[in-house]
Structure 1
Amino acid sequence: RRDILAILKQYFSTSINKRQQRKCFLLHGTGGIGKTQICLRFIEEMSGHFSHVFWIDASSVVTIQHSICDLPDAQSYILDGSPESALRWIGSLKDNYVLVLDNLELLSKAELAKYFPPELRGNILITSSNYTNWMSSMKSYDVRGMMKHEAIELLLKAGGLDPHRMDLQAEASVIVERLFYLPLAIVLAGVSIASGAASIGDYLKKYLNFYRTLAQPKFKGATKCDMTVYRNCELLYGEIQQRANSNDSHQSEAAKSAIFLLAIFSLFHHEGIMKDIFSYVNIQKEEIEMGKENLSLATSQQDHKLLPLSDAATWDGLFFEEGIRLLASLQLIKLVSPDGTYNMHPLIHEWARNRMTKDESEWYCSKAHAILASAVENQSVRFRKALVTHVVANMEQSRLKKHTAIGKYLDDAYGKFLWLFMEQGYLSEAEKLGVQVLDARCRILGEQHPDTVMSKGDLAVTYSNLGKYAEAEKLQVQVLDTRNRIQGDEDSHTLMSMDDLALTYYDLGKYREAEKLQVQVLEARSRILGEEHSHTIMSMGNLALTYSSLGKYTEAEKLQVQVLDTRSRSLEEEHPHIIMSMGNLALTYNNLGKYREAETLQVQVLDERSRILGEEHLHTVISMDNLALTYSNLGRYTEAEKLQIQVLDARSRILGKEHPHTIMSMGNLALTYN
């Protein structure tokens, strides 16, 4: 593919006029033609030319947003955690970056524009098989099949055959022509030959046998190139099935594992499938045997014959490894990271999903739900973040295939997914799921059941995070009333509900109502848990903020001094809660006119946040703004001006000039100039 690489290199290396500095290039062509591989090779060979490479999985809106927010280079600069602010940061770079949008299919031209950095600079490279939406607006190249001699060489190499033998070259020539010189189909054909599923002599006969197998409505609409990949996949699948029926127990177990994992992988997102997702099926046997009414899907639906446990009730990875090894050897999956992360080509992924019957699809989908629900627990935040795309893909398949509606067990798994979406900031998805979970629990368990009440509280928190405070208030009043009646007004769940409702009142500006509840919570937690318990300290901090909003600064100061003192004794010096407590107390000092005390704390806060989070992190910029305000109050306008210019510059670049925080920064700087 040297000709395509040469075109890309020439285009991205040539200077263009200053009015439009951005360069956009679209590589389009049928799936399996090698567009992603061309991009990877191009980036590798041009590594010295680009300052930053941002690779985005563009197969869906969720994966685009997830990839943008997960860019390692951008994370410390993202001021509000949104894709928009990450894109603004990328756009603000003066260097020669390249943004690769790989496997872009579903967006219109207008929708696509939302995921371009705002400044007209940098480089954008797109791969797509659905190119009609954007082709007219950018430079493009139609990637066709391989050159005949390249295709023959690839087939013989993949098949483990001598590429110099003329007789083999002649047979290979007929095969690659039948496969339309499509790289993916050729590789799979070679693997079929190497694995013993076919010989080069009888390959075409076996390949053509799958015309009838794939002539089903669910494959309707597939292109002739797609079908070359699907038929080769069927040929390899037949080899796996043959091994599964083998008398060799080791070979048979590996093949059965491969069949199971192939189906499960097809019901996750096609990229970033982590081995560790499967290791969390180690649910303790006694938990399974408890026979609870509301046993979670991850516990009750897990099939430990397929994902077996050891004698210690922990995951036995051997079964998984054997299946993975077979799938990888047949090129149906690809290891992309030494930590055990795998990808499937989108066409192979689609074939594996569509070949299942409706019953098979529903059965495997329930197993995939179980595996993902298990993986949500006991993991790092970063790991859970990587789960989101798989949960979304799995739920979307369940919806498209019209699987059984949410029920008792599925409901419990969805409860975990709701929590995952809330934690990771996918609030719209969390809201939809929360409504579904609450409706199911009301129907199945009744409105007074603890699980129903809990889901009502979860949905209320989601509404709060979305700024739907009136909806949150309505649910939280119901939750608090139910828990007061059933569990008592000093139960830990009741106090938590009281705290949640108080925070919603605070967000609604109902400070008196918030104060009343928070005083109750603080008194109860102080008596029951003790004054230095983390929940008690959190309640003190919340009440102090409410006091500040009510203008009760002396009361706020008293509580905040206590919070800071307790946290300083119990937590490490650089703990985020200590830094946050310092910042809150400093604002109260400001409100009380104690500017020197405020300055002392704010200098510490800014220093710590600059060092730990970086100078353009959200919290650092807020700290800079607060210290500038204190300098103004002290009449030190030159120092205030210096900080406010930094704040305005950061917010203008990353949030945009019309963002409310940017406009507020402009106003603050203007006041300082005055």
Structure 2
Amino acid sequence: MEPTSGPSRGTLQLEYDDVPMTGNSVQNIPATESAAGSSSQMFAHASQFQINNSTFQAAHTIINNRTVNNVWEKEVVPSGYQERMSNINSQPRPPDFIGRKDHISLLENHFIKGKSSAAQHKQKVYLLWGLGGSGKTQTALEFAFQFHDQFTKIWMIHAASESLIQASFYDIAKQINWPQPTWQAGKRWLEDHKEEWLVIYDNADNPELNLGKFLPSCRHGNVIITSRNAALIQLTGPYGSNTELKDMDHADAVQLLLSYAGMSHNTVVEDQVMAGKIVQTLHCFPLALVQAGAYIQQQHCLYGYLERFNSQRAHIMSINMSQSFDDYTLSVYSTWNLSWNKLHNSAQEFLKICSCMHFENIPREIFRRVVQNIDKVDQEHPGPLVHQVISLLDKLFSNSKEWNDIEMDKIISELQKFSLINVLQHGKTYNIHPLVHQWVFDGVQHYIDVIAAFLAVSMQELNGEEMSFVLQVQEHCKLVNALDFNEVFIWEAFARVVVTEWKLCEGIGFWRGIGPVFQWNAGESVWEVGRYNDALELEEPLLKLSEQVLGMEHPDTLTRTQNLAVTYRNLGRYNDALELQEPLLKLSEQVLGKEHLYTLTRTQNLAVTYRNLGRYNDALELQEPLLKLSEQVLGKENPDTLTRTQNLAVTYANLGRYNDALELEKPLLKLSEQVLGKEHPNTLGYTQNLANTFTYLGQYKDALELQEPLLKLSEQVHWQRTSRYSGPNAELGSNIWISGEIQGCT
């Protein structure tokens, strides 16, 4: 029967079942032993047929192609492909991974220990996100290397772009010997194999990339994503989790710096102290530490690094590394420039403005008020600076004369995608990493006079009920304290801040000249010059206002609570101090954590108050665990740890436990001489107290050996000795524990 349509009469039509072919079903089709010789047998019973060249071409195409979801796919090598690029063993691993133990533990709990019944048969996804250079890739790889035996396969997907993702999947297909591999085949292998495989999607930083479509569509397997984009949290699903990689612990940071400086095994105490100072300057940021360590190793300049950094910061932070354990040679600034170049102009301008303010607690309200006030300021005080402020607003918003929350949200959202900003207080304030803040500021220092005008515009039209806003902008105004402003509206606005601060805050004096010149910090605080009653008049209402405006848990409120407690104690009002310090410590532990530097300080200050009240056992209960924690967090050589060691010895002595005090004070003195030097006031104090302990134990010769040279040395450095035994309320020299624990208003 002839077909009514289709091929012409005499043409053989070949039909194929439309059945997808999987990797398990694909077989090579062997050639016939003698294709020519068997052709007569092959077509012996055929008549009126024709085979065109196109027929053989179609058959050849079918044999050499595969199908995915009923769509023919042909082997294509994706752009960016490198052999074994997805193989975890091809990824470089630093010989000594340092720190991030808490994050490794979180990953272990999520993927290995945390296999609850609900999530046991679900795909588990974990997002490691944070600023570029925070160590996301290294942390993910270290976890994979440590726990490789817990997974059947481990793959690395390079997720910077679609082409690299496809190239990585293509390599997976190659690695599993898939016949004529494609990137879809590599992805499908993961979906088809119900095993405990682990896939790391690394550097998924492009906010325009739809990463979700490249995740395996299945209910099994394990996925780690590393990205600067916190918005990828939405991909983790109900059984996923995430964590932000922030700055390293201080002790780990010192170890990392010295490791890359080639000094991890041959350091003395002085090296550790200097490394600690460098680490503090670099805010414990991993890539900055690696870069600094490499520079120190090349230039042999551990003790000269900070001087070079302070004088040529932008240059130092821009030097790419010539060698690296993990093939990552970009500098800190080069790394962040990759993010900067992807930002829209409005987001860049926002960062420039913020870089001229303090890096913490930048109020969103500043920007709203500038938009609200700019027209009136332009009418009353027209001039170049005001016009530059208007120009800034034009770069930020499509309509600079009308506030638009949606446009502001877009700017913040874009910066969050690169972890360049943190949002606090439900979107009311913003924080920027200190190094990011410096990086942007290094390129826009000429902006600072414009930002002074920007801040001044935000402070126009303030009424009595808006003094809380003045409190929010204090720290930002102080950063422009060195300028002489030739615009009346600027110095008037800044004078308003100073007057408010004088009445309500730290009591800093100010001077306003007859001319249009404003100077910020013409006097010392009353607290610093010992006028404690005057300080009290400022601090009591300030604390109440801070609690009302900022809330009980705000860091500034906690600081002002501590300052008031210190003032009470300096006035001998120990019970009043205690009423503040006990709840303050609990709140500080909840808000900041037990290991935070401010929490450690507040613990010590409460212990000192207990001691002032004669409650030595209560002081001891705080000081013994505090010293252990301080050694863990800061290290034994840290000056604060030295101070806390002496304070514990003081309490032992108060309890008559002189031998226990001696066990602390003898090594303390040696360490202080090494770290601080023999002429340092703290070292002199430690010497005097050790001598007094020898005296109380009847070891007069040992005491004399310390006291005779101490007297000569103290006369040379004009040291006013203040021993804990010299009066009824004296301790290791109040000068020591005050300078070590209280200054800085913590």
Same fold (TM over 0.5): no
Query: Scaled by the length of structure 2, what TM-score is found?
Result: 0.35
Query: Scaled by the length of structure 1, what TM-score is found?
Result: 0.38
Query: Highest Rg: 1 or 2?
Result: 2
Higher relative contact order (CA 8 A, sep 6+): 1
